[in-house]
Structure 1
Amino acid sequence: MPDRRMGPLVALARRAAIAVGALVAAGLLVYVQRDAYRDSNGTPIGLIDALYYATVSLSTTGYGDIVPVTETARLWTILAITPLRVLFLIVLVGTTVELLTERSRQAFRIRRWRSRVRDHIVVVGFGTKGKAAVDTLLSDDAVPERIVIVDTDRGRLDAASAMGLVTVRGDGTQSSVLRTAGLVHAASLVVAVNRDDTAVLVTLTARELAPGITITAGVRETENVHLLRQSGADSVVVSAETAGRLLGVATTTPNVVAVVEDLLTPDAGMSLSEREVAESEIGGSPRHLRDIVLGVVRGGVVHQIDAPEVDALERGDRLLFVKRVGSPTSG
């Protein structure tokens, strides 16, 4: 879960500093008034004795070997030493209680989040592919709190949490981890792990848990595409082959690659988008629209713009078109 509080080490160091500060303040207070205190062995009160008295007093041990003997010293014990003792105990007990209840608090937050969130997006793997996928989702106005990142790397999860994303630490091949991410109630799953065999295992586990979820998976090798599809992936993207094609195209026509990169970069220039056909466009040809339409989705099937099946647009069609980033969706 996103947690914007300070880190545990910083919180512990701050509390330790408060406790030490209370001890030092009490010790200095006793040392300044050392003539008003008496040691049971009859020796004068030194700095070490003052700190010792502060330690046993603030920790409520109270051996009684060093005691205040004047009214002024006893008054300072009431007005200063006692509040410092209370502060010391609050820091000590508060730290202990928080350490004991942190797991219960986190479990409660997870249960409450899982009971409320629906139709969110789960991303397994927050490496280069996973982060690029999330950046694209966010550029399409996805809400960060409705994107759940599953990864085993603490650093990656911290980076995702800093972006406002929900994080779950664990192995995405384990059903218990995917349940914690709320996969059963999710709308889609993005598998962006580094190994193809891991992607297959994640897809198999996810499809068993959530038969109706939309799964998009990335693989490195083309020969593994059929394994992902047999495992239940709805869409498979081959990263290595796609990069190789772009390299080949860039050798002879680098300007084409520049346009493709512009379309795939969500933050500037042009980007690919999808929208439902407007009422005023029903019956017309997708080739005559103001938008640059690349394809028409009808009944879950993508048709090229020149396909005779979509020469006339129908209600319920969806258009795949090129839009300029920062401009409102046409329609």
Structure 2
Amino acid sequence: MVERPLVQVGKRLLMALCVLALTILIVWLDREGYHDNANNEVDLLDASYYATVTLSTTGYGDIVPHSDSARLTNIVLITPLRVLFLIILVGTTLEVLTERTREEWRLSRWRSNLRDHTVVVGFGTKGRSAVQTLQATGLKPEQIVIVDPSSKAVDAATTEGFAGVVGDATRSDVLLRAELQRARQIIIATQRDDTAVLVTLTARQLNRGAKIVTAVREEENAPLLRQSGADAVITSASAAGRLLGLSVLSPSAGLVMEDLIQQGSGLDLVERPVIKAEVGRGVRETDDLIVSVVRGHRVLGYDDPAIGELQLTDRLITIVRASPNATATPPPAATEAWRSPRQG
């Protein structure tokens, strides 16, 4: 893992202090060989003063080595320590500046290339699972930006190939660093419901057309999230509770639901457009198992009489068998499933 610039500076500073302390010790042990123009005596303060001005190459000349042993010590020990001290200071400055320049160049480069990407706020259990599902449908890591207040979480995300931004996602400047204003879809998976509301409000203000999906713990907060601009709200506590109850009543049904939730294996729930061959047919006349039809902004159940015949502008939510190489070649429906209704 690459160390942060401040950590590098701290280590270099500690090394410089060690060099200074060693120089003070050498001068103090050989203090009889030094001459002070002020009082002809060299105490610990004088030794510290001489070491400081010597290592910094200032050299006022008020304290000088006059014995042969002191001069030899300066040649053999003090001079190499002076060079090492300067290397540490200059090297640290150059390295930090180079690292900052490289980082700014890298950030500006990926920001300029980001278009229609996905911003995931929160890289905890929910955020990771959401990202895994997106990757199972073929979304590339470079099209995913993680925003999290924890530097460790962002480091873990960047290790996996995602772009990462450390900061509080309730602040617009943090979201702008993630280029949220140009994102196609936004997933908000924060730890607290009140934080999710603030992030949703900020995200909707910055991007009016993106698809925003938010997770909350308590179902009573779901209406507030929808009012804040979320297109879909997932209640984690209620969903987990319903799955637990279903698994108790019917373990087999619970297994099927888990299979549908886990993208890329077994059965998958996907959204796709109606193909020309299906136009004019009924829901039961298609080859796929259709569970719902999206018509405009309405989601109609498969048995809703209002569906009638399928139209070319409809979208179908179907259950399909997951392809073994789904991650390598994503189905068109999977990549289109997140398109915002505001984008048509």
TM-score by length of 2: 0.70
> 1:211 corresponds to which residue?
208
1:287 to 2:284 alignment: yes
1:304 to 2:301 alignment: yes
Query: Helix, strand or coil for the counterpart of 1:295?
Result: strand
- Aligned residues, how many? 324
> 1:314 corresponds to which residue?
312
> 2:218 corresponds to which residue?
221
> 1:151 corresponds to which residue?
148
1:241 to 2:223 alignment: no
Asked if 2 retains the 8 angstrom alpha-carbon contact of 1:118 and 1:186, the reply is: yes
CA offset digits 1:105-143 (Å, max 9, x no partner): 433432332222111111111111111111111111111
Asked if 2 retains the 8 angstrom alpha-carbon contact of 1:285 and 1:313, the reply is: no
Unmatched tracts of structure 1, length 5 or more? 20-55, 64-84
> 1:167 corresponds to which residue?
164
Q: Which has the higher contact order (CA 8 A, sep 6+)?
A: 2
Structure 2 counterpart of 1:321, one-letter code: I
Question: Residues 201, 13 of structure 1: CA spacing in aligned structure 2 closer, same or farther, 3 A cutoff?
Answer: closer
Asked if 2 retains the 8 angstrom alpha-carbon contact of 1:266 and 1:325, the reply is: no
1:196 to 2:193 alignment: yes
The 1-side partners of 2:173 and 2:250 are apart by 48
After alignment, is 232-241 or 318-327 more displaced? 318-327
The 1-side partners of 2:295 and 2:121 are apart by 30
Question: Residues 192, 205 of structure 1: CA spacing in aligned structure 2 closer, same or farther, 3 A cutoff?
Answer: same
The 1-side partners of 2:289 and 2:252 are apart by 19
Asked if 1 retains the 8 angstrom alpha-carbon contact of 2:276 and 2:312, the reply is: no
The 2-side partners of 1:302 and 1:292 are apart by 16
**Residues 49-60 of structure 1 correspond to what in structure 2 (within 5 A)?**
none
| CA-CA distance at 1:280 after TM superposition | 2.5
Structure 1 counterpart of 2:203, one-letter code: A
Query: Equivalent of 2:116, from 116, 119, 122?
Result: 119
The 1-side partners of 2:129 and 2:331 are apart by 25
Query: Equivalent of 2:250, from 247, 253, 272?
Result: 253
Pairwise CA RMSD = 4.8
CA offset digits 1:213-258 (Å, max 9, x no partner): 2111111111111110111111101111111111111121111111
After alignment, is 85-94 or 186-195 more displaced? 85-94
> 1:231 corresponds to which residue?
228
Asked if 2 retains the 8 angstrom alpha-carbon contact of 1:273 and 1:323, the reply is: no
The 2-side partners of 1:316 and 1:88 are apart by 72
> 1:184 corresponds to which residue?
181
Question: Residues 112, 272 of structure 1: CA spacing in aligned structure 2 closer, same or farther, 3 A cutoff?
Answer: same
CA offset digits 1:156-215 (Å, max 9, x no partner): 112111111111101111111111111111111111011111111111111111122211
Asked if 1 retains the 8 angstrom alpha-carbon contact of 2:116 and 2:184, the reply is: yes
1:275 to 2:291 alignment: no
Asked if 2 retains the 8 angstrom alpha-carbon contact of 1:294 and 1:322, the reply is: no
> 1:37 corresponds to which residue?
none
**Residues 5-20 of structure 1 correspond to what in structure 2 (within 5 A)?**
5=2
| CA-CA distance at 1:273 after TM superposition | 1.4
The 2-side partners of 1:213 and 1:330 are apart by 22
| CA-CA distance at 1:276 after TM superposition | 1.9
**Residues 40-119 of structure 1 correspond to what in structure 2 (within 5 A)?**
93-119=90-116
Question: Residues 200, 98 of structure 1: CA spacing in aligned structure 2 closer, same or farther, 3 A cutoff?
Answer: same
Question: Residues 153, 268 of structure 1: CA spacing in aligned structure 2 closer, same or farther, 3 A cutoff?
Answer: same
Asked if 1 retains the 8 angstrom alpha-carbon contact of 2:271 and 2:315, the reply is: no
> 2:324 corresponds to which residue?
326
The 2-side partners of 1:153 and 1:170 are apart by 8
CA offset digits 1:53-88 (Å, max 9, x no partner): xxx99998999xxxxxxxxxxxxxxxxxxxxx9999
TM-score by length of 1: 0.73
> 1:67 corresponds to which residue?
none
The 1-side partners of 2:151 and 2:132 are apart by 19
Query: Helix, strand or coil for the counterpart of 2:96?
Result: helix
